[in-house]
């Protein structure tokens, strides 16, 4: 454009920019026009507004080019004046209209007048009314959520009842059909199963099992003395015959045989030579017959397992037992509580949930190596291999084959390092094989299945064999090989029958039930757990009963049977042991996303320590859900009130440290700092050295779980127990690796 003496007006036509780009354009315009940003925003809203007059051609063109470059539309228009170079149009601030939310009265606020805070007509305070309305809306959201979860719970209970009724009807129909065919009726009661000699005889003839009948007949007449380590031979024979005939599914066969195996009446021990008959619920002792101590074969004791993520069996100590405190026989067992907390922290549900969230977030951000590293720090073994395999499958679908194969190799190496007892290594192989099969890699699945079978063949303890065989049977069911699965299920039941003591036999039921549930026989799995619960009296040792009932309750909760879980926990005689089991159920319900059920379970706790822990854990979950945040404060207050009821400084320190960890996880660093400092002061004041060591170990573990590794390591020199210090050192090393993967 050439200069010819003509002057131009610069006319503004607004902008289509949005968000941050619009804000930057307003700032540049206000800076150029030397006005406040608010005025710049109002000017930009105008259309056809002259923002500069009397510009020469070159200046106008340059100004137009700069405005267009930042997204502001404008144009040059010739003018007849030649004097002014820049002139601003007057901008009037529009009147503000405020409508009362209660009565609807309209308030006109002109110019720079302050906005009213109260209504001229009804005199309500706007801010207070809005807060009340917001709280009412949040309450209604919470109410609707709770009603929805309550309805889901009712529907779930109804489905389970329908499953049981359907199974019962199926059995009735089978009895009717067998009657029409002239076959013997399979009696539902255990007494009928054991005592029906004629039925066994007829079924034995039809299945070629006459030898078993002869054995039972001679056993009943006293010609052959029964084996004291085998129970319910007749019922087992019927179950074996039914399994071979294929008339019943493996779940129903298991119910028949396990019912006989767990029946105390069927397991009566014959009279010893020269002595009276022993108690049916107590196994005989002597050469070749191990005493019934209630211990799970191969289980490690508390604090003896130095590897992070492997929990030892820790139940309440009896006063006077090795390492027990000085509590009176009827008083609280502080040392037992501390040991149980240490054991539970080695398999902490809250930590696993945190890691699962972090793994998902890292995967979404494309940080696959960090996500893969975090998988290895999940404390629950089954969860570790399942989540790792799913992550590997996701990486494969995303085209990251190298990362997927690398992760599977790492998971396979980790499976090789699993302990041999309780079929842990077999379960790891089975989980990986199941995912390989679903990912369309049948050859790799078959190789893992072969590894699982090879490992199972090396197990010698019957309880380990039962768990391993049920895992293999469940895997074979997934692979579409039902005949082989049935054979392995029968092998699992056979191993269960070889377990010599009632307590050990009951302890083997939860992993067996898990196998049946994985194979799709959930109703039968729940019946097995229920059968074990009702026969718990066969375990004569109180600590064994508590441990077994806790495992039964936990497995029932994992399978979604809250009523069965509560029924098992209710049979625990010791209040602290019962609350420990219920607290684990609270954590399980939260992990499954059933917050309403977790709150209901938490309200049933009676001991202050577990009331406080449940309040903190529930409050943490409520903090993470916007609709429940108003209730998180109430949960925290209930937890604090429960802590105030504790009188033993060691228990106070342990509970306070765990609550501080929950506060740290919820983002309240100040509360976490106060809690950890208070826990340290309480632990230092504990007079008993064993209790002080355990309180410090619990404090250090919670600090490490809160990713405060430096504080946690500083507690190690204060712990006098070398074995405990060594185990804690290994645990902190593992948590340090996890913290690095998280990025802290």
Please identify, among 208, 231, 248, the residue that sits at the C-terminal boundary of a domain.
248
Instruction: Find where tokens 């229920």 sit.
Output: 530
DSSP 453-509: HHHHHH--SHHHHHHHHHHHHHHHHHTT-HHHHHHHHHHHHHHHHH--SHHHHHHTH
Q: State the residue range of the domain holding 216.
A: 183-248
Please identify, among 34, 61, 79, the residue that sits at the C-terminal boundary of a domain.
79
- CATH code, domain with 58: 3.30.1390.10
Identify the pLDDT of residue 249: 59
pTM (2 d.p.): 0.60
Identify the pLDDT of residue 14: 80
Exposed/middle/buried for 481, CB within 10 Å: 0-12, 13-18, 19+?
middle
Identify the pLDDT of residue 308: 28
What is d(CA 694, CA 703) in angstroms, rounded to the nearest whole number? Answer: 14
Please identify, among 209, 226, 248, the residue that sits at the C-terminal boundary of a domain.
248
Q: CB neighbours of 238 closer than 8 A, spacing ≥ 6?
A: 186, 193, 199, 200, 203, 256
Identify the pLDDT of residue 221: 38
CB-CB contact of 424 with 381 (8 Å): yes
Dig out the tokens for 253 from the structure. Answer: 């066969």
Cβ neighbours of 494 (radius 10 Å) = 16
Structural domain contains residue 380: no
Identify the pLDDT of residue 672: 92
What is d(CA 511, CA 548) in angstroms, rounded to the nearest whole number? Answer: 12
Nearest to 653 by CA among 633, 629, 680, 626: 680
The number of distinct structural domains making up the chain is: 3
Structural domain contains residue 315: no
Nearest to 656 by CA among 631, 622, 634, 682: 682
Structural domain contains residue 72: yes
- Determine phi and psi for 551, rounding to 5 degrees: -65, -40
Cβ neighbours of 740 (radius 10 Å) = 13
CB-CB contact of 519 with 309 (8 Å): no
**pLDDT digits 0-9 by tens, 496-517:** 889 989 899 999 999 999 999 9
- Beta pairing partners, 8: 55, 78
**pLDDT digits 0-9 by tens, 711-744:** 999 999 999 999 999 999 998 888 888 887 776 5
What is d(CA 376, CA 359) in angstroms, rounded to the nearest whole number? Answer: 11
Helix count and strand count (H, E) for the chain: 32, 5
Identify the pLDDT of residue 317: 38
Identify the pLDDT of residue 653: 95
b/e per residue 349-359 (b: at least 16 CB within 10 A): bbbbbbbbebb
Dig out the tokens for 98 from the structure. Answer: 């405020």
| First and final C-alpha spacing in the chain | 61
Identify the pLDDT of residue 31: 83
- Beta pairing partners, 99: 106
Q: Compute CA 711 distance to the chain's CA centroid, rounded to the nearest angstrom.
A: 27
Instruction: Find where tokens 């925003």 sit.
Output: 41
Q: CB neighbours of 73 closer than 8 A, spacing ≥ 6?
A: 12, 13, 14, 15, 16, 67
What is d(CA 490, CA 472) in angstroms, rounded to the nearest whole number? Answer: 11
Structural domain contains residue 683: yes
Strands 96-99 and 7-12: unpaired
CB-CB contact of 238 with 200 (8 Å): yes
Structural domain contains residue 84: no
The three state secondary structure string of 18-36 is: CHHHHHHHHHHHHHHHCCC
Identify the pLDDT of residue 126: 80
Task: Please report which residue ranges of 82-125 form alpha helices under DSSP H.
Answer: none
Q: In which residue ranges of the chain is pLDDT below 70?
A: 1-5, 80-95, 111-112, 178-332, 420-422, 743-744
């Amino acid at each position: 454009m050439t200069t010819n003496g003509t002057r131009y007006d610069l006319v503004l036509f607004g902008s289509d920019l949005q968000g941050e780009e619009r804000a930057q354009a307003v700032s540049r315009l206000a800076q150029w026009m030397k006005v406040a940003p608010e005025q710049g925003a109002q000017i930009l809203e105008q259309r056809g507004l002259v923002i500069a007059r009397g510009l020469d051609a070159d200046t106008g063109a340059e100004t137009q080019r700069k405005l267009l470059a930042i997204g502001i539309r404008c144009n040059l228009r010739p003018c007849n004046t030649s004097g002014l170079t820049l002139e601003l149009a007057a901008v009037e601030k529009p009147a503000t209209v405020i409508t009362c939310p209660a009565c609807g009265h309209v308030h006109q606020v002109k110019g720079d007048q302050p906005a009213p805070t109260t209504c001229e007509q009804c005199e309500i305070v706007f801010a207070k009314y809005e807060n009340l309305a917001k709280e009412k809306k949040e309450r209604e959201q919470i109410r609707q959520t709770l009603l929805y979860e309550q309805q889901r719970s009712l529907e779930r209970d109804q489905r389970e009842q329908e499953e049981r009724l359907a199974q019962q009807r199926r059995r009735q129909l089978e009895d009717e059909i067998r009657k029409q065919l002239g076959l013997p009726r399979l009696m539902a009661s255990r007494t009928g199963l054991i005592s029906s000699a004629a039925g066994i005889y007829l079924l034995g003839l039809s299945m070629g099992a006459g030898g078993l009948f002869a054995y039972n007949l001679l056993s009943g007449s006293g010609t052959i003395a029964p084996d004291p380590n085998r129970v319910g031979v007749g019922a087992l024979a019927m179950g074996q015959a039914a399994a071979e005939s294929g008339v019943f599914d493996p779940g129903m066969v298991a119910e028949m045989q396990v019912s006989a195996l767990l029946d105390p009446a069927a397991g009566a021990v014959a009279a010893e030579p020269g002595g009276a008959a022993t108690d049916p619920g107590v196994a005989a002792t002597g050469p070749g017959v191990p005493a019934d101590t209630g211990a799970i074969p191969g289980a490690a004791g508390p604090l003896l397992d130095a590897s992070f993520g492997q929990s030892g069996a820790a139940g309440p100590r009896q006063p006077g037992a090795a390492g027990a405190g000085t509590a009176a026989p009827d008083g609280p067992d502080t040392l037992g509580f501390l040991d149980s907390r240490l054991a539970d922290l080695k398999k902490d549900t809250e930590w696993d949930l945190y890691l699962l969230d972090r793994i998902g977030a890292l995967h979404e951000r494309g940080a696959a190596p960090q996500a893969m590293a975090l998988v290895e720090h999940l404390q629950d073994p089954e969860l570790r291999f399942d989540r790792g395999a799913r992550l590997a499958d996701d990486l494969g679908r995303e085209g990251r084959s190298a990362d997927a194969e690398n992760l599977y190799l790492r998971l396979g190496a980790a499976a090789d390092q699993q302990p041999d007892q309780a079929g842990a290594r077999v379960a790891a192989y089975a989980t990986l094989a199941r995912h390989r099969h679903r990912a369309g890699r049948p050859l790799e699945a078959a190789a893992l299945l072969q590894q699982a079978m090879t490992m199972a063949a090396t197990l010698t303890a019957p309880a380990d064999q039962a768990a391993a065989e049920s895992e293999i049977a469940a895997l074979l069911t997934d692979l579409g090989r039902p005949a082989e699965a049935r054979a392995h299920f029968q092998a699992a039941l056979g191993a269960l029958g070889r377990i010599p003591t009632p307590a050990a036999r009951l302890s083997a039921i939860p992993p067996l039930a898990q196998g049946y549930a994985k194979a799709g026989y959930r109703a039968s799995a729940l019946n097995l757990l229920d059968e074990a619960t009702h026969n718990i009296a066969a375990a004569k040792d109180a600590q064994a009963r508590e441990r077994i009932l806790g495992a039964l309750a936990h497995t029932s909760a994992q399978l979604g049977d809250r009523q069965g879980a509560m029924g098992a926990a209710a049979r625990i005689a010791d209040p602290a042991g019962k609350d420990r089991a219920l607290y684990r159920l609270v954590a399980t319900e939260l992990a499954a996303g059933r917050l309403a059920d977790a709150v209901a379970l938490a309200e049933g706790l009676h001991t202050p320590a577990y009331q406080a822990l449940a309040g903190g854990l529930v409050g943490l979950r409520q903090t993470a859900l916007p609709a429940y945040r108003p209730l998180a404060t109430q949960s925290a207050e209930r937890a604090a009130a429960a802590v105030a009821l504790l009188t033993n400084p060691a228990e106070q320190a342990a509970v306070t440290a765990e609550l501080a960890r929950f506060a740290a996880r919820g983002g309240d660093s100040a509360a976490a700092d106060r809690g950890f400092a208070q826990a340290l002061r309480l632990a230092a004041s504990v007079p008993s050295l064993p209790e002080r060591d355990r309180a410090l170990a619990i404090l250090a573990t919670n600090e490490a779980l809160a990713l405060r590794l430096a504080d946690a390591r500083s507690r190690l020199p204060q712990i006098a127990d070398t074995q405990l210090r060594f185990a804690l050192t290994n645990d902190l090393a593992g948590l340090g690796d996890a913290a690095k993967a998280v990025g802290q």
